Chain A
Amino acid sequence: MKLMIVDDSAIIRSRIARILANPRLDFIRTIGMARNGMEAITLFMQQTPDLVTMDITMPEMNGVECTEKMIAFHPDCNILVISALSDKATALKALKKGARGFLYKPFTDEELVAAFLELTSS
């Protein structure tokens, strides 16, 4: 499965990428990273990933808008919103736009692995 990481923090991007080295997730391949919504959409159109981890607060275009555009383009895409957001309302908005799940920052390695497994279960 193709994964794209969307987050404006380099630390978090590399953290997610590192956790993906877990052997239980060896069916997932990171095909791209984006630092803002605009970049994410461009990359998404080119690669049509199956999985996306999506930050909410980003410059250019926020995660809610970005989720909406991705789902419109590729409705079967599994989007996992990962955010430190304190207001649940915004995260719920992203889910209403079609994201499949939500994970709070900070997360443990195990939490992210479990979330990926849940997300990719049928």
Chain B
Amino acid sequence: MKSINEKDIHSFVDAVSGFFAQFAEEKVEIRAAYLVEGAIKPSTFELTSYITLSGDYSGRVYFSAPRALIAHLLLMMQEPNRNDDRLLDAVGEIANTISGNARKHFGETMEISVPSTEVTETGWLDTVVSPRSYVILVKWKQYRASVVVDIQRA
């Protein structure tokens, strides 16, 4: 039985917003929020990071973004090296922020894994998330990204 609410979801999205807010004035904006159901699939971008939760709630929270977005971020962090390893590091850092916020939001009883990162192909998320996971499409500057919340109450 899934019973997370919009506050739970916002705690993840806000973590992403907060991360970007350190480097740029532009806010992260929500463009759409929907469920993975039937033909409606999550959007997978080139780089994806995720954390795994267990405890009162269990499941994963994914952050997926195109290379260009992360590259732009590194540029703003004045990081000259922008190879895939650096990009994945940066994506992992975002997942870390999500993890911190989740701990604050759900309390210390939750076990939260260290972030994993992947270079992902289109449709990758389709294969890993369960039906009726939440998909939040976000925008930062001209770039798109997605947060996918696949969590159930234990």
Touching chains A and B, CB distance < 8 Å:
no
A residues whose Cβ falls under 8 Å from a Cβ of B: none
